Amino acid sequence: MINFSIPNFERFITKLFILQSNTLKNMYKSQQVIYLSGGCFWGVEAYISRLKGVNQTEVGYANGRTHDPTYESVCSGKTGHSECVKVTYNPEIISLEEILEQYFRIIDPYSINRQGSDVGSQYKTGIYWQEPSQRSTVVKFLNKKQKEAPKKIAVEAHEIYGFYHAEEYHQKYLEKNPQGYCHVDLNQIDDKEFDHLTREEYQITQLALTEVPFSGKYDNFFEDGIYVDVVNGEVLFTSKDKFDSGCGWPAFSKPVNEDAIIKHRDFTHGMVRTEVRSSKANSHLGHEFNDGPNGTKRYCINSAALRFIPKEDLENEGYGEYLSLFDQKD
């Protein structure tokens, strides 16, 4: 029988966070969060972040008995924390059950405090929900797996009652260090639909990374034309709304239309921001700020998420309907 109990210690921390998150749900597209422990968090994060519909991933230390743990203290095995990945996902694109199925592909669900060559209580497996509504999905999923299993599943499951952001060098570790240690086979992910992207384009649109400021090809670029999603060609912005903000990334005062983008609250890196994604391909584009010219918005967008189509090429590229935008007077 799988144990779904939860200690009361630090439960209020998560309750307060959930209360804050719920007040924002009507303002932005709904996202959900699930926490997954499955051994070294470098590999788990790299794999889960590649799932279509997963918008953000963050590694940290889950549950445990101490406040503000460090990597060294967690590795001592004395704090009770596990290495864990906070997964923020769009349930309209990927369901919780689909995420859990992928999670089971990369763990040994029968092993206790060991995954691959990593041994210790910090490498336990666990599924920790944030919202009570997720509990039934997790319990049903694990019960189904247990019925199919040849022996007892060792994956614990309960509400998250503490999560601490890991040191910055652990975040997106395998993107920063492609040859780094990983106990997870990342080749299991089928991402052939993104073969036309460069490594940087993939990392930004699919893994929500950010290009170095002032490095993008469209930062200091102001020719007439439109900007489309580099993934699927969806029209996102036009040069008519582009301005020089001096921030180091292309800046627009508005999208070509509001239906072209979706917005999410982004709590990564210790900040509260508004993430901007394309509505059809769900590509990470950048962030929205409230400091544009004359009281407008500033859409701060990664160059690598965009493809520019010059005004003179619109007809040949199949975007002739947008030519009229450049006949209008400002």
329: left (phi over 0), alpha (psi -120 to 50) or beta: beta
CA separation for the pair 274, 288 (Å, rounded): 5
Distance CA 97, CA 138 (A): 8
From the list 258, 163, 253, 247, the residue with the least C-alpha distance to 210 is 247
The Cα–Cα gap between 144 and 139 comes to 9
Enter the tokens of residue 179. 């040859």
Which tokens go with 139? 């319990």
Determine if residue 214 is left, alpha or beta; phi over 0 gives left, psi from -120 to 50 gives alpha, anything else beta: left
Neighbours of 284 (CB within 10 A): 25
Catalytic residue, from 40, 84, 182, 300: name it.
40
- The reply to whether 182 belongs to the active site is no
Q: Within the chain, how many helices (H) and strands (E) appear?
A: 7, 17
| Rounded alpha-carbon distances, angstroms, from residue 65 to 58, 74, 122, 136, 193 | 21, 10, 12, 26, 43
Active site residues: 40
